[in-house]
């Protein structure tokens, strides 16, 4: 199925001059070398593991990591140090989603530090028109095992009850802070076996803080076969409760882990049986959201060209302003520049996820991204093809 019929004349994702206009020759060459390396799954996986080992062992590899993976996919070691990247994107009319890239910890002190950092992000975003929102994982504020127990419906001990109460207070605090400063908060989807308490608490925050507009956003992973119906049901509840619905659409990040666990424990695989089914659900979700744009704010977070063309076509066909505050497309920093910058050039509201944090703390995040992206069929070869084409255009090779 193709969705390019009415947008081909407006947008070409093959236009590398627009896609890489923000890169000088040196950074273009660096990106090309890096994608050649991580296009090899075995090398990507081995390199990520070795990087983590070397950092833990105190070996002098921080500079190498900072000038390769980190330089391509991260903004800086703090929000302030990410400002040059934010400004570079803004010059091309590309917005920023800030994403604290430090992986979840397990202690109350770690959760409190993450909360403080998120509040710092919101303060920063409030004073910077180029930063649209911040993104977080609930496992940055709550212990994974606690969420797992809640999802399974198991009774909590008195200590766990108190722990869950503190978690809810943290989530409410950051939601209230986001609402006060008018900065949207995207809460990520996570593994299926901890997702229900995440959905429940995000819904409560929407009910409380999305009265005038969508400030709090949930996330649906549409490689799950139940998420399209969940999206429609959740929106019906929002209409019934008279609050605005905020949603980020993603395909999903844990497929191999999800399928392995379902096989091991003998329950139904939660993942769609085919990529075609996932693509169908994702595109239907985009259509549903655009068709209810007055009450839904949607972030279409994907590197899929067909889905982004559908997003653009629907906005065009329905006569919606390309800068409508409820419609937004987003890709990861350092990837799919051919989508981001060509959409921005055509006038659509688009942004980049900018992960940031200390190099040693962000390596697990980078490792996960490398593994995810090398598992997406054709993604790396497409990136390489476009980078190589632009290097030829500039007579660099």
Instruction: Residue 113: give its domain's CATH number.
Output: 3.20.20.220
The Cα 15–Cα 337 span in angstroms is: 10
Comparing CA positions, the residue from 158, 162, 163, 185 lying closest to residue 173 is 185
**What's 224's DSSP letter?**
B
What is the CB neighbour count within 10 angstroms for residue 206? Answer: 26
Q: Distance between CA 42 and CA 49 in Å, rounded? A: 11
- Is 157 inside any structural domain? yes
Strands in 37-178 per DSSP E: 95-100, 131-136
Between CA 170 and CA 155 the distance in angstroms is 22
Q: How far apart are alpha carbons 359 and 77 in whole angstroms?
A: 7
Is 328 part of any domain? Answer: yes
Within 8 A by CB and 6+ apart from 342, the residues are: 11, 12, 13, 15, 18, 19
Residue 2: inside a domain:
no
Q: Looking at the domain assignment, is residue 27 inside a domain? A: no
pLDDT < 70: residue spans in the chain: 1-10, 40-61, 103-104, 368-380
Instruction: Round to whole Å and give the CA distance between 223 and 193.
Output: 15
Give the model's pLDDT for residue 195.
Answer: 98
Number of domains in the chain: 1
| pTM assigned to the model | 0.93
> Which pLDDT belongs to residue 21?
96
SS3 375: coil
> Within 10 Å of residue 243's Cβ, how many Cβ atoms?
21
**CA-to-CA distance for 138 and 82, rounded, in angstroms?**
23
pLDDT at 5: 40
Q: Domain range for residue 197?
A: 75-361
Residue 282 counted as domain residue: yes
Let me know the angle formed at the C-alpha of 286 by 288 and 289, rounded to the nearest 5 degrees: 40
CA atoms within 13 A on the CB side of 194: 15
Identify which of 185, 81, 182, 175 has the alpha carbon closest to the alpha carbon of residue 129: 182
9 within some domain: no
The Cα–Cα gap between 355 and 135 comes to: 9
- Please tell me the predicted confidence (pLDDT) of residue 42: 47
Is residue 111 situated within a structural domain? Answer: yes
Domain-embedded: residue 53: no
């Amino acid at each position: 199925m193709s969705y390019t019929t009415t947008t081909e004349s407006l947008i070409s994702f093959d236009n590398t001059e627009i896609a890489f206009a923000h890169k000088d020759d040196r950074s273009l060459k660096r990106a090309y070398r890096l994608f050649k390396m991580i296009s090899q799954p075995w090398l990507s996986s081995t390199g990520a593991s070795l990087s983590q080992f070397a950092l833990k062992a105190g070996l002098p590899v921080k500079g190498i990591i900072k000038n390769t993976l980190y330089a391509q996919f991260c903004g800086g070691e703090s929000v302030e140090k990410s400002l040059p990247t934010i400004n570079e994107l803004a010059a091309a009319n590309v917005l920023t989603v800030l994403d604290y890239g430090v992986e979840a910890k397990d202690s109350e002190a770690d959760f409190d530090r993450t909360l403080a950092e998120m509040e710092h992000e919101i303060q920063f975003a409030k004073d910077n028109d180029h930063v649209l929102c911040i993104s977080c994982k609930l496992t940055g504020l709550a212990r994974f095992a606690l969420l797992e127990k809640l999802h399974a419906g198991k009774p909590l001990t008195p200590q766990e009850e108190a722990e869950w109460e503190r978690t809810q207070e943290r989530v409410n605090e950051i939601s209230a802070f986001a609402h006060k400063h008018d900065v949207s908060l995207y809460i990520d989807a996570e593994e299926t076996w901890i997702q229900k308490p995440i959905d429940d608490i995000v819904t409560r925050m929407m009910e409380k803080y999305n009265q005038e507009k969508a400030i709090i956003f949930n996330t649906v992973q549409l490689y799950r076969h139940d998420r399209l119906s969940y999206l429609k049901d959740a929106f019906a509840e929002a209409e019934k409760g008279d609050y605005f619905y905020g949603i980020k659409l993603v395909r999903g990040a844990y497929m191999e882990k999800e399928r392995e666990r379902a096989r091991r424990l003998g329950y139904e695989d939660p993942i769609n049986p085919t990529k075609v089914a996932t693509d169908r659900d994702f595109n239907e979700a985009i259509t549903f959201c655009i068709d209810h744009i007055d009450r839904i704010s949607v972030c279409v977070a994907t590197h899929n060209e067909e889905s982004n063309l559908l997003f653009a076509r629907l906005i065009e066909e329905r006569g919606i302003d390309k800068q409508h505050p409820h419609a937004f497309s987003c890709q990861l920093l350092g990837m799919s520049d051919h989508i981001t910058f060509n959409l921005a050039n055509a006038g659509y509201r688009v942004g980049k996820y900018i992960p940031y944090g200390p190099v040693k703390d962000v390596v697990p995040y980078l490792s996960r991204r490398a593994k995810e992206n090398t598992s997406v069929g054709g993604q790396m070869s497409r990136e390489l093809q476009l980078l190589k084409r632009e290097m030829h255009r500039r007579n660099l090779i």
